[in-house]
Every structure is written in C-alpha cells, then in structure tokens.
Amino acid sequence: MPVLDLVECRVCASVLHWERGVGKYVVKWGKAPLGYRYEYAYSCTCPGFTFRKHCKHVEASKSLRCNWGSEAFSGSFKAPNLNGSCPKCGGPTVVVRVGV
C-alpha cells in the first residue's frame, strides 16, 4: 500500500459548507449522516426533499455554489488571491489537509 503525504492547501469555504435561501426554503451543502459515516451532500428544508432526497430547489442552487479548489482532493492545487480570498467568488477560504 502506498504511503500518502499530507499536504495543506487552501480551498473556498463553500467546498466544506454552503447554504442559500431559495424562496421560503434553505438549501445546504455539507456533511450529512449516512448510516455510520458522513458524506458531503445537498439538503433542503422543503417537504419534497424529505421524501425524495432531491428537489427543484437543490437543482436550482447547484450552479450557485463556488466549489473552487475541490480539485485539491484529487491532487491538483491552485493558488488563492494574494489576500487569501477565493479567486472565483471572492469569498473566504479555508486550509484543508489532503493526502497525495
């Protein structure tokens, strides 16, 4: 089994957590419980999402999330702006550890 090196890289904060109001509902991206483990996924506060696990609010919101830097999890790194903000949306960035 290969040995992984841990590398710190900067990604947009929306890679880990994001939420947006859509009408009277709230669409979120983040850690969601999946049995005994966690997985990153979308969720919505609308009644339809409770039954179907997808809805029109989530579909309408997917293109609004920045997601800059998510390539870091597959080994590709990009530099943030000089002030540390996201070059795509101008929002905050966070440092994550990635195994390469």
pLDDT along the chain (100 residues), means of 10: 73 90 92 82 92 91 88 71 84 81
pLDDT given at position 75: 66
Q: What is the C-alpha separation between 75 and 84, in angstroms, rounded?
A: 20
Q: What is the C-alpha separation between 13 and 96, in angstroms, rounded?
A: 10
pLDDT given at position 48: 92
* Contact (CB, 8 A) for 16 and 98: no
